[in-house]
Amino acid sequence: MPATEVLFYQEDEGDVPVLDWLKALRERNERAFRKCFGLIKLLAQSGHELRRPHADMLRDGVYELRTRVGSVNYRILYGFVGKDVALLAAGFTKERKVPSKEIERAIAHIGKYKANPGAHGFGYEKESKDG
C-alpha cells in the first residue's frame, strides 16, 4: 500500500492550526508531542487502514487521531482527500469525547480544503491534479 501524503489545513489568513498546535505542544510537553507526531507518522503509513485505538471515525468525513498522556486526551482531527489526509484541527481535553463545535469546525475546514486545495492545503503541490 502506498504511503498516504499528510497535508495541513491552512486558514484564509495563512495560519496552519495543527502545525501551530504541534509547535506549542512540543514546547509544553515533549512526551505528548512525540506521541502525537508518532500518530501522524502512523497515519501516513496506514492511511484508510488505521483503526482503533489510534484512530476513529467521528462523523461527516471527519476522523480523529487519539492518544492519552496522563489524564489528558490528545486529539487531531483529519479528513481524507482521495487517498491523502488533511489535518484539520487539534486539541486536548480531559473529556472522552471531542466537543461538537470542534467537529463542526473540522467539517467546515475539510469542505474548504476540498473546494480549494491550493489555497487551504499547506504543503500542497500546485501541479497535482488529484486533490
* pLDDT tens across the length of the chain (131 residues): 457 899 999 999 999 999 999 999 999 999 999 999 999 999 999 999 999 999 999 999 999 999 999 989 999 999 999 888 999 999 877 777 888 999 999 999 999 999 998 899 886 343 333 33
User: Does residue 124 belong to any structural domain of this protein?
Assistant: no
Give the amino acid at 126. K
> What single-letter DSSP state applies at residue 67?
E
Helices (H), the chain: 17-28, 30-46, 100-115, 117-120
Is the CB of residue 107 less than 8 Å from the CB of residue 61? yes
User: Does residue 130 belong to any structural domain of this protein?
Assistant: no
Domain span holding position 18: 6-119
- pTM score of the predicted model: 0.88
Domain count of the chain? Answer: 1
For residue 88, which phi and psi values (nearest 5 degrees)?
-105, -40
User: Does residue 129 belong to any structural domain of this protein?
Assistant: no
User: Does residue 62 belong to any structural domain of this protein?
Assistant: yes
Give the amino acid at 7. L
Residue 30: its pLDDT value, please? 97
The angle formed by the CA atoms of residues 110, 111 and 114, to the nearest 5 degrees, is 80
User: Does residue 61 belong to any structural domain of this protein?
Assistant: yes
